[in-house]
Structure 1
Amino acid sequence: MLIEQIIILALIQGLTEFLPISSSAHLILAPLLSGWADQGLAFDVAVHVGTLTAVVAYFRKQLSAMSRDWLGSVYTRTHIGESRLAWAVLLGTIPVGLCGLLFHDFIATQLRSPLVIAVTTIGFGVLLGWADWQGRRTRNEHTLTAGNVLFVGLAQALALIPGTSRSGITMTAGLMLGLTRDAAARFSFLLSIPVIVLSGGLETVKLVQADIAPDWRALVIGTALSALAAYLCIHLFLTFINRMGMWPFVVYRLVLGIALLIVFY
C-alpha cells in the first residue's frame, strides 16, 4: 500500500468510527473515488484494532468498574454499582450479533453499492436530525430499561447496512428514548466495544483462513494512526456535542448522500 493510502484510510477509520457518519461507507467509497486498489482484509482488521484500543483506553476506568461490578452481580444476583450498565451493553449487542451471523454474506455481496450508501446516508441522517430536534434529552444511560436497551440494540443491527452508521443509529435511538446527547454518545461508544471485538474476530478468522502474507508496515502504521485519531475524536465529540448538537453531522450526511447520487447516477 502507498503511504498516503495508509494514512488517509487509517484517519478515515479513526475519525468516522465514532462520529454519526458511517465509517464503513467511507472505507468503501475511498477506493472507489481515489482509484486505489482495495486495502484488503488485513488492513481493515488493523484499523479496527486501533479504534478498539482507543475506546477501551478512553473508558478504561468505567470499563474496569463495569467488569468488577458485573462479576459481583453474577455472584450476588443483584445489581451492584455499574453492573446494570454492563448488562445493558451485553444485552444491546445480541441483536447485531445474531443479524451479523445470519446476513453478513448477503450484506457484503449485495449492499455495498454507492446507491445503497447514498440512500442510507440521507435517510438515517434525516432520522438523526429529527431525533435530535424532538428528543427530550432528560435521561442518562443508567436509566435505560431492558426494553430501552433492546430498542437501541435492534437499531444497532441496522448499522450492518453500509451508510447507516453504527454510532449514528444508536445515538438516534438513544435520543428517541430521551437520553441527553452525551449520554446517547457514551452508551453508543460502550456498545461499540463488543461489536468491534465480534466483527474483528470474524475478519481475523477469515484472514487466517485466506493465508495471505500481511504488509506489516501498513498494519502497524494503520493501527497506530486509527487509534490516535479515534481517541481524539471521542474526546472532542463528548466535549462539544451538547453545545453543537447533531445538525453538523446531519448536514454532512445530506451533502455526502446527494453528492454520491450525482457522481454515480
Structure 2
Amino acid sequence: MTWVEAIVLGVVQGLTEFLPVSSSGHLRITSALFFDRDAGASFTAVTQLGTEAAVLIYFAKDIWRIARTWLVGIVDRSVRSSLDYRMGWYVIIGSIPIGLFGFLFKDAIRETARNLWVVATTLIVFAFVLAFAEYWGRQSRTLEHFRMRDGVVMGFAQAMALVPGVSRSGGTLTAGLLLNLTREAAARYSFLLAIPAVVMSGVFSIPDVFEPAATGTAAPSGAQMVVATLIAFVIGYAAIAWLLRYVAHHTLYVFVLYRVALGTLVLALLMTGTIAAT
C-alpha cells in the first residue's frame, strides 16, 4: 500500500463511518476507482478502531455512567429500573447478531460480499428502505421509551452492514425510524451499539491486515495503518458532533439521494468496464 492510499482511505473512513452511506462500501469503491485494487475487509475493520475511539471519547460520560450502573445493577435490584441499567443490556443483547453472523459468514464477507455489483446494488436498494423509514416513521419515541425489542431489531439491522453498501449506521437508523424512534434517539443508540462489535472486529483483524489472504489486496505497513487509523479518529470525532446536530433538525433524504447517485455511478462504471467488480 502506498502512503497516498493509506491517507486517502483513512480520510474516507473518518468521513463516512457515522453517515448512513456505508464506510466499508466507500472504502471498497475508492480503492477500485483510484488505486485499482481492494484495501481489504481487514483494513476497513482496523481503521474503524479509530472512528470507534472517537465514539468512546465523545460519549465517555454516557458510557461510564451506563457501564457503572449496569455493574451495580447486577447485585442491586434498586437500580434495575433505570434507563442506564437497561441500556447496558440493550447494547449487550443487540451486539449478539453481528457477532454471530460475522463469525458464521466471515469468508463470504471478506470475499463475495465485496464484489462491486453487490456494493452498488445494496447502496441503491437500502437507500429506498431508508427513504421509506424516514417517510413512514412517526418519530414519537425517545430513548426513555426504548425497550429490549428495539435493541434486538436494531441489532439485526446492524448485522446487515456486514455487507458493504448496506451501512451500519444506515441500517440502525432505518430500523429505529421504523420503530418510531426519533432520529436523534436512533443515532445515539446506534453509536453505543457499535462499540462492542467494531472494537472486537478491529482487534481480531489486526493480524490479517498485514497478510491479506485475498489476491490483489493491498497490504499496509504498520506505520501506514497507524496513520490511517489516527486520521479516521480525528475526522470521525468531528463527524459525530455534526451528525447528531444534523439529524435533530433535518431529514435523511439527502443521504438517500447520495446513495442512489453513487450506486448508479458504480453500476455504470461496471457496465462500461471502467472498473472491475472484484
> TM-score under structure 1 normalisation?
0.92
Structure (1/2) with the larger helix percentage: 1
CA distance 1:45–1:160, shift in 2 (3 Å): closer
Q: Distance in 2 between matches of 1:81 and 1:170?
A: 20
The Cα offsets for residues 1-28 of structure 1, whole Å up to 9 and x where unpaired, read as 4332222100111111110000111111
**Residue of 227, 245, 258 corresponding to 2:251:** 245
> TM-score under structure 2 normalisation?
0.88
CA RMSD of aligned residues (A): 2.2
The 8 Å contact of residues 69 and 81 in structure 1, kept in 2 or not, is answered as no
3-state DSSP of counterpart to 1:137: coil
What is the Cα deviation at residue 152 of structure 1? 1.0
Match of 1:2? 2
Q: Distance in 1 between matches of 2:74 and 2:136?
A: 38
Q: Distance in 1 between matches of 2:126 and 2:40?
A: 28
3-state DSSP of counterpart to 1:139: coil
**Is 2:225 the counterpart of 1:223?**
no
Q: Distance in 2 between matches of 1:220 and 1:200?
A: 13
What is the Cα deviation at residue 41 of structure 1? 6.8
Q: Distance in 2 between matches of 1:215 and 1:36?
A: 19
What is the Cα deviation at residue 201 of structure 1? 2.5
Unaligned residue ranges in structure 1 (runs of 5+): none
The 8 Å contact of residues 45 and 198 in structure 2, kept in 1 or not, is answered as no
The Cα offsets for residues 39-81 of structure 1, whole Å up to 9 and x where unpaired, read as 4677445422211110101100000001100101111243445
Match of 2:51? 51
Q: Distance in 1 between matches of 2:4 and 2:185?
A: 36
Of all paired residues, the percent bearing the same amino acid is 39
What is the Cα deviation at residue 155 of structure 1? 1.4
**Is 2:234 the counterpart of 1:234?**
no
Matches for 1:13-162 after TM superposition, within 5 Å: 13-39=13-39, 43-77=43-77, 78-162=80-164
Unaligned residue ranges in structure 2 (runs of 5+): 213-218, 272-278
3-state DSSP of counterpart to 1:75: coil
The 8 Å contact of residues 84 and 142 in structure 1, kept in 2 or not, is answered as no
CA distance 1:217–1:205, shift in 2 (3 Å): closer
